[in-house]
Amino acid sequence: MDWLIYFDLFGVFVFALSGGFDGAKYKLDMFGILVLAVATGVGGGIMRDALLGRHPPVAFVDHAYFIVCLSAGLLAFFFSRKVERHMFYVRLADAVGLGVFAAMGASIAVEHQLGWVGVVLISTLTATGGGVIRDLLVREIPMILRADFYACNAIFGALVYLLLHSAGVNEATTTICAALSATCSRLLAIRFGFSLPQARGHRH
């Protein structure tokens, strides 16, 4: 469906924004910010496509992906002058992208006839892959490891997708609901600081 591409591009845009703001935080020059925006925006989708055998990945074929990433990178570059709290914007954009990509990943995995574990894994990988690449490139411990419940939110979105899909709900509603579930649960986790127990051998 056509609107799915725009939905995907929206996810690419917000993830690229998160990469751009992260680059600004580390005082990269304009080109470093653009590179980080592109890598964050299309990284998760490229990993998904490579693993599912979709050659070449859609981001290499459809020019819109590249242009959207560059726009987001430029926006982050020029906007970063005015904003002080880059970390907040990185996290907000990241949460929205997480939801969109979790839904997209689930949708494509279902299309490839994967079982529920495959759908959950591909969905999580699509939703977190770009962020992991971003964090590795700027040498942070990836959010997926340090942020409480991070991957949980993607998994939650994938499960919502599977549930609605198997209940026969139409594609559009299923995708939107899955994305909203993942994004909202992520924002709630950020807002209320849910946290899981740490490994206890190290407490003392």
Q: Which is nearer to its own copies, 48 or 165 (CB)?
A: 48
Rounded distance between C-alpha atoms, residue 201 and residue 8, angstroms: 42
Q: Which is nearer to its own copies, 1 or 61 (CB)?
A: 61
Q: Which is nearer to its own copies, 19 or 99 (CB)?
A: 19
Q: Which is nearer to its own copies, 17 or 24 (CB)?
A: 24
Nearest-approach distance from CB 45 to its own copies, in angstroms? 11
Nearest-approach distance from CB 146 to its own copies, in angstroms? 6
- Residues of this chain that interact with its own copies (CB under 8 A) are 23-33, 35-36, 46, 49-53, 55-57, 59-61, 63, 65-67, 76-77, 80-84, 86, 109, 112, 114-118, 120-122, 132, 136-139, 141-142, 144-146, 148-152, 195-202
Q: Which residue, chain included where needed, has tokens 């992991």?
A: 132
Nearest-approach distance from CB 172 to its own copies, in angstroms? 25
Rounded distance between C-alpha atoms, residue 27 and residue 93, angstroms: 19
Nearest-approach distance from CB 188 to its own copies, in angstroms? 15
Q: Is there a contact between 128 and 151 (Cβ–Cβ < 8 Å)? A: yes
Helix (H) or strand (E) holding 14: helix 2-25
Contacts of 151 by beta carbon, 8 Å cutoff, 6+ apart: 124, 128, 144
Rounded distance between C-alpha atoms, residue 30 and residue 20, angstroms: 9
Rounded distance between C-alpha atoms, residue 20 and residue 4, angstroms: 24
Q: Is there a contact between 106 and 115 (Cβ–Cβ < 8 Å)? A: no
Q: Which is nearer to its own copies, 10 or 66 (CB)?
A: 66
Nearest-approach distance from CB 173 to its own copies, in angstroms? 26
DSSP letter (8 states) at residue 203: -
